[in-house]
């Protein structure tokens, strides 16, 4: 699995790994979706186009996940598929498919910046991201 939960005193901390930056965004989306709860796979999906900009990858990832979290809360749907069209140091864009949540998990209140760092290494990319629960 390209992500795992790490011990944290009060919040949810996930470590996510991927071979490159676009894949890291996709895996972070999947990790968030898994923590939101179960979906109705037989229900019609709803696609949303997202386009975000930011000063760096950390800010972009927080904005991306925060937007997905917001849409999930408002529409009671979880992201199930991502097709990125742009994934640079300062821009993320793509289409995200959502399905209705049928078994919501514990509430995630926010995406935080606590100890956030997107790291590119010889063996791939990783990020540790903390969610306020």
Domains and CATH numbers, the chain: 3-132 (3.55.10.10)
Are residues 27 and 73 in contact, defined by beta-carbon separation less than 8 angstroms? Answer: no
Are residues 105 and 69 in contact, defined by beta-carbon separation less than 8 angstroms? Answer: no
Tens of pLDDT, residues 52-94: 999 999 999 999 999 999 999 999 999 999 999 999 999 999 9
Predicted pLDDT at 87: 98
Are residues 112 and 130 in contact, defined by beta-carbon separation less than 8 angstroms? Answer: yes
Instruction: Answer yes or no: pTM beyond 0.85.
Output: yes
Tens of pLDDT, residues 21-61: 999 999 999 999 999 999 999 999 999 999 999 999 999 99
């Amino acid at each position: 699995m390209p992500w795992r939960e790490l011990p944290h005193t009060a919040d949810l901390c996930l470590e996510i790994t991927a071979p490159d930056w676009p894949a890291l965004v996709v895996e972070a989306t999947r990790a968030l979706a898994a923590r939101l709860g179960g979906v109705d796979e037989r229900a019609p999906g709803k696609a949303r186009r997202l386009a975000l900009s930011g000063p760096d990858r950390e800010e972009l990832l927080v904005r991306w996940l925060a937007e997905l979290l917001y849409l999930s809360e408002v529409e009671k749907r979880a992201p199930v598929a991502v097709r990125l069209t742009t994934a640079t140091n300062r821009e993320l864009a793509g289409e995200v498919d959502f399905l209705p949540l049928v078994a919501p998990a514990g509430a995630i209140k926010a995406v935080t910046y606590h100890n956030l760092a997107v790291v590119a290494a010889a063996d791939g990319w990783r990020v540790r991201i903390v969610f306020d629960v």
